[in-house]
Amino acid sequence: MVGAAKSASPGAARPLRKQRLRLWIRLLLARQVIEAELRKRLRDRFDMTLPQFDVLAALDRHPDGMTMTALSQALMVSNGNVTGIIDRLLVKRYVARESAAGDRRRFIVKLTGEGRAQFGAVAAMHESWVDELLSAVEMERIERTSARFDKLARTPPAHNSRA
């Protein structure tokens, strides 16, 4: 048959494992593109890095403050990385660092009033940027995809993987 219609699904002829690999690569690319745009907007609008935003967000969820170790664990980065970020946020007066009771080697980091106000403004703008960047995705698809990724995140890796 001349000019036969192509398959309805562009990846239908590919093995499922190849389609999953392509999905993984697309997810990584989409994350990179969105993250790069968020980094640019944070820098241009608020003179803030994404790691600084992440630290402020973590501290906002812990009004009583966090130890440097707890903060580094929550952000999944080294203590050294957190120390550098905190030092820069101290200069901006967004955070305060104080010695933990009974242990002068441990520090508790908290948002200052100025830091809380700044984070509120940045977080609201960040939310609107994410909304804008993902505006092409409709509600039904968001709910389905979120549910699937939630399930994937809760599912332990297969023990019989072929390595």
| 80-119 confidence digits (pLDDT tens) | 899 999 999 999 999 999 987 877 778 899 999 999 999 9
* In a domain? residue 47: yes
Contact assessment for residue 88 and residue 52, using Cβ atoms and an 8 Å cutoff: yes
Residue 88's domain comprises 18-147
What distance in Å separates the CA atoms of residue 141 and residue 143, rounded to the nearest whole number?
A: 5
* In a domain? residue 69: yes
DSSP, collapsed to helix, strand or coil, labels residue 116 as helix
* In a domain? residue 100: yes
Q: What is the pLDDT of residues 103-112, one digit of tens each?
A: 777 889 999 9
* In a domain? residue 56: yes
Tell me the whole-structure pTM to 2 decimals: 0.80
Total count of domains within the chain: 1
Residue 58's domain is classified under what CATH number? Answer: 1.10.10.10
* In a domain? residue 36: yes
* In a domain? residue 3: no
What distance in Å separates the CA atoms of residue 98 and residue 134, rounded to the nearest whole number?
A: 40
Cβ burial, residue 59 (10 Å; 0-12/13-18/19+): buried
